[in-house]
Each structure stands twice: as C-alpha cells, then as structure tokens.
C-alpha cells in the first residue's frame, strides 16, 4: 500500500513539474513578445494559460483522491496540501502572463531601455518559478530559501523600472499612457515573482511544518 502511495506522490510531483514548465513557457513568451514586438508570440500565451488552468484541475483532483483514498501521515499530508496551494499560485502566474500579452498591442511597436530591464526581470522570475517547483520535488529547503531571497532582486528591478518611467512622464507628459502600460507589464512580472515566493514558502512548510517568515501574497 505504501509503495503504491509513494508512486502516486511521485506522479503528483511529475505533474507539478509539467505545470511549472508551462508557467516558464508563458513567462518566456510574454518577455519575448515584448522585446521582439511579436504579436504572433503574444497570441500563443492564452492557449497555454488554458492548459495551465486544466493542469490545475487535474492536480487538484489527484490531491483529493490521495487524501480520500489513502491515509497519509503528517509529512505526506503537508506535501499534498502544499501541492494544492502551489497550483493556485501557478495558475495565477499563467493569468498574469496573459495579462502582459493583453497590454502588448498598446505599446505601439516602441522600444525604451525599460524593455531590456523588464526582460532581465522576466529572466529572474522564470528562474524563481523553476527553482520553486524544483525545491518542492526535491524537498530542498535551501533552494526554497534561495527563491525567497531572489524576490528582493525582482523587487529591485521593479523599483528601478518604476523610477525610470516616472522620470519619463515628468520629462515628457505625452508619454504618460505608454509609460503606464509598460509599468503594468513590470508589475505583472513582479507579481509572478511574488507567486514563486509563495510556492517556495509552501515548500518550506511541507518539509518543516513551518511557513516562511514572509506572508503569502494574493
């Protein structure tokens, strides 16, 4: 019975990896579409977000079956409940990548230095998402802590981009609408970093029984 249960937990981990890979892909597409000004890339994001939504439902069903059909011990219970929390954050990551895609047509094929900064910010958030899922699969608390620490890097990118765009608006008020659209893109990437931080915090809980010192974000 325990062997079968362990196999199902392993499958659960594999499905989370697949969902994490989808999240990485939508973030990458959003960043590439921004830099390359490529509407075709942006159009690929919504279908992938729907795949993420479906994967969330599949994983939730799997977790509920494990809870109902098996008798998980305390650590198993934490691992399953962590998976349920993680998929909520991962689903929101997909939503926010789609939000980025919806803004891109309003940027009018223009390029500012902030585009490059956002690309670097996106790379940092992709790594956070990848490492947070990897930390769950490996039950690696050190990696989870590293993800949480990395959120400060993403926050610093956002602060820098926001400051630059505020200066742009002050110098040229006619750029206001454009700057605000770009700021929203940066904000969505910042929120993706927050969700990766949430995931890492739940990994810590699954292993140690204690949550991260940072409160989860919505």
Domains of the chain: 2-208 (1.20.58.220)
The angle subtended at Cα 74 by Cα 15 and Cα 69, nearest 5°, is 60
Region 195-214: mean pLDDT is 84
- Does the pTM surpass 0.75? The reply is yes
pLDDT digits (tens, 9 = 90+) for 134-178: 888 888 999 999 999 999 999 999 999 999 999 988 998 888 888
Element (H, E) at 200: helix 176-208
Within 10 angstroms of residue 113's Cβ, the number of other Cβ atoms is 10
* Minimum mean pLDDT range among 71-75, 87-91, 106-110, 156-160: 106-110
Q: Which of 209, 213, 203 is nearest to 86 (CA)?
A: 203
d(CA 58, CA 46): 19
Q: Is 80 exceeded by the pLDDT of residue 214?
A: no
d(CA 93, CA 179): 23
d(CA 28, CA 216): 24
Q: Is 60 exceeded by the pLDDT of residue 213?
A: no
Q: Which of 190, 110, 177 is nearest to 151 (CA)?
A: 190
pLDDT digits (tens, 9 = 90+) for 24-82: 899 889 888 888 888 889 899 999 999 999 999 999 999 998 888 777 777 788 889 88
Token readout for 125 is: 């958030």
Token readout for 140 is: 């690696």
d(CA 135, CA 147): 9
97 within 8 A of 50, measured Cβ to Cβ: no
The angle subtended at Cα 171 by Cα 167 and Cα 174, nearest 5°, is 110
d(CA 34, CA 105): 9
Q: Which of 117, 129, 110 is nearest to 191 (CA)?
A: 129
d(CA 32, CA 66): 39
d(CA 42, CA 40): 5
Chain centroid to CA 188: 10
């Amino acid at each position: 019975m325990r062997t079968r249960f362990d196999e199902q937990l392993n499958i659960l981990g594999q499905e989370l990896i697949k969902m994490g890979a989808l999240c990485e892909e939508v973030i990458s597409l959003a960043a590439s579409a921004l830099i390359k000004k490529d509407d075709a890339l942006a159009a690929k994001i919504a279908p992938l977000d729907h795949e993420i939504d479906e994967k969330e439902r599949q994983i939730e069903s799997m977790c509920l079956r494990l809870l109902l059909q098996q008798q998980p011990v305390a650590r198993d219970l934490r691992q399953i409940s962590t998976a349920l929390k993680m998929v909520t954050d991962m689903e929101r990551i997909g939503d926010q990548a789609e939000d980025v895609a919806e803004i891109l047509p309003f940027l009018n094929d223009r390029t500012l230095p902030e585009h490059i900064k956002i690309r670097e910010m996106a790379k940092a958030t992709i790594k956070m998402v990848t490492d947070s899922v990897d930390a769950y699969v490996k039950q690696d608390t050190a990696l989870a802590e590293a993800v949480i620490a990395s959120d400060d890097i993403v926050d610093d990118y956002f602060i820098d981009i926001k400051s630059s765009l505020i200066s742009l608006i002050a110098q040229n008020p006619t750029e206001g609408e454009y700057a605000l659209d770009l700021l929203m893109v940066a904000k969505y990437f910042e929120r993706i970093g927050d969700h990766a931080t949430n995931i890492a915090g739940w990994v810590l809980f699954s292993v140690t029984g204690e949550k991260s010192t940072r409160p989860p974000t919505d």
